[in-house]
Structure 1
Amino acid sequence: MKKGDRTREHIIMKSAEIFNQKGFAGTSLNDIIADTGIKKGGIYRHFSSKDEIALEAYNYAASLVTRKFSEAVDQEQSASGRLIAFFRVYEDVVNNPPFIGGCPMQNTAVECDDTHTELRDRARQGLNAYLDIIKGIIRDGIETGEFKEDLDSNALASFAISLLEGGIMLSKLDGDNKHMQMNTASFSIYLQQCCLKIR
């Protein structure tokens, strides 16, 4: 990798951490300069604006979390186990989140809902990608006979994401992983009682 490419990657990585903790509005160019150790001219040699940095930083942060999800899902054999794996990635969101600052999709969606359409669109794309992955797992579970044939994959995927993101938000707000733990347990019980095919 060329020096210029390494510098650009360094800016993206450090900026992703700042944006995910302080938000787009709360992050200044001076914050990025301080954290990267790169002067203003060096930043602008690689990026045309703070907006461009933020979009690249979001992509980077989201890709790391997606990789954590994939690694967790790949360790499970059953469809229900793969769905629960999403929750396990955030089981210690208070002390050890998969990316510093919590869920990039949630943080971006909340802050940029009415303020930054490009970042909001990136978060929406992330949501749709996660929903597609979860719906694929549910369809696999139906095909293998693990889940009931009439299971609504759209509704279950939306329910799963809502419980996951709600658990993340409440646990971070309260400083206690109990919300994430309760949501994980509740989702597991729901799968067993309402989704699994009786054999």
Structure 2
Amino acid sequence: MASKAERTTAYIIETVAPIFNRQGYIGTSMNDLTEATGLTKGAIYGNFENKEALALSAFEYNSKILLEAIDEQLAVEGTALDKLFQLTKFYRNYDVFTFKMGGCPILNVGIDAKYNNHLLRAAAGETLRLIEGKIALVLENGVKNNELKLPVTPLQFAKQLYTMLQGAIAMATMSDDRKYLINTIAYLDLLVQKEIKK
């Protein structure tokens, strides 16, 4: 059973993760954190070395949720196509999935931290690479099993596919119009069906 200190640390991370994700590292004040948690600054910093350590833990918390969800989509039984379509089905409702998180953690943190927090930027980049690698593995297995034909390497195709997904997420987020997401995914499904299915 978790100790009181461990429960407090987990509570702080879970509570502040969507705030950091929505408002950014610089945009999140200590007042935002104390107000959300109901804890004093001293109580928060009794659990974390500084704001940067807390922001990094908050990102890692959101990242873990996202990676587990993607693993779940790609673990479905069936062919590589089945797995890819399960992934695009997940991304069709990605805005709903990430709502409680404060939006897409990769997009939000990656852009926000690019010039002001190298640790957060590196963590977002690592999560991005992990997702691309997971997609590439599905593609590689699809090629090996003679289910798919790719015009480029599996990793390159995974990067292009994920670029399109992240672009759609960015456009849907900026415009408050989820049609960017829906239409891009419809196009991706068509692309997969017509261009790479054997």
TM-score range, shorter chain: over 0.9
TM-score after normalising by structure 1: 0.92
Change over 3 Å in CA distance of 1:126–1:99 after alignment to 2: farther
1:15 deviates by 1.2
Identity %: 27
The count of corresponding residues between Structure 1 and Structure 2 is 197
TM-score after normalising by structure 2: 0.93
Instruction: Give structure 1 stretches of 5+ with no counterpart.
Output: none
Distance 2:97 2:119 in 1: 29
Change over 3 Å in CA distance of 1:103–1:48 after alignment to 2: same
Change over 3 Å in CA distance of 1:149–1:116 after alignment to 2: closer
Are the aligned partners of 1:24 and 1:54 in contact in 2 as well (CA < 8 Å)?
yes
2:180 corresponds to: 179
2:11 corresponds to: 10
2:65 corresponds to: 64
2:78 corresponds to: 77
Pairs within 5 Å for 1:44-123: 44-97=45-98, 99-123=100-124
Instruction: Give structure 2 stretches of 5+ with no counterpart.
Output: none
Are the aligned partners of 2:150 and 2:196 in contact in 1 as well (CA < 8 Å)?
no
1:76 deviates by 4.9
Aligned with 1:26: secondary structure?
coil
1:96 deviates by 4.7
1:133 corresponds to: 134
1:89 deviates by 2.5
1:169 deviates by 1.1
Distance 2:61 2:68 in 1: 11
Q: Does 53-62 or 81-90 show the bigger shift?
A: 81-90
Are the aligned partners of 1:16 and 1:54 in contact in 2 as well (CA < 8 Å)?
yes
Paired letter, 1:6: R
1:133 deviates by 0.5
Cα RMSD, aligned residues only: 1.7
